[in-house]
Amino acid sequence: MPSIIQFGLVIEAILNIVGAIPFVLYPEWCLSFAVATNAETGTPTVPPSSALLWQVYGVLVLALTVPLILCTPDSKAASEKRHIIFTTLLAGEVFIEAILLWHISQPDKSGFTLTSLVLSSLFLLPALSWHAYVTYINPNLVNELSNKSVKKAI
């Protein structure tokens, strides 16, 4: 049976893939819910540059998912790999939260609706909390082995 950390890694990888694919394939559609409406037309207008950056963000999420998948199986170096990955993801999420909170404090300057900024900030909190928990509160989780590996060791 997989360990808690393996279960968490697989769930996170699945959520990342499911979430990032629409970002890459349908950036205008994704952003249409978040961008502020055009004052003249009253409809959201997604600039091509924003769509491109959204696709880049989606690709970065997919790229950061690869190490999650690679460190899921038990190995001698799994705990070190997991620690580096969780620390990296946590740092990125802290910086993204800081940017989102900065823009929440001045929503008229971002081009996004206040609702989308707040929701983005809130949706990032579970991942940030999980990574902070594993990195600083319970770092022994990265050392957990699956039951299969424990039986082999005995």
pLDDT at 37: 75
pLDDT at 122: 97
**pTM score, whole prediction:** 0.84
In degrees and rounded to multiples of 5, residue 112 shows phi and psi of -110, 155
pLDDT at 141: 87
pLDDT at 110: 86
Question: Which of 58, 65, 92, 84 has its CA nearest to residue 9?
Answer: 65
pLDDT at 62: 97
- The rounded distance, in Å, linking the Cα atoms of 43 and 95 is 30
pLDDT at 124: 96
Domain boundaries, the chain: 4-143
User: pLDDT 10s digit of each residue in the chain, 154 long?
Assistant: 778 899 999 999 999 999 999 999 999 999 988 887 776 676 778 889 999 999 999 999 999 999 999 999 988 888 899 999 999 999 999 999 999 999 999 978 888 899 999 999 999 999 999 999 999 999 998 887 765 554 555 4
pLDDT at 1: 73
pLDDT at 90: 97
pLDDT at 146: 65
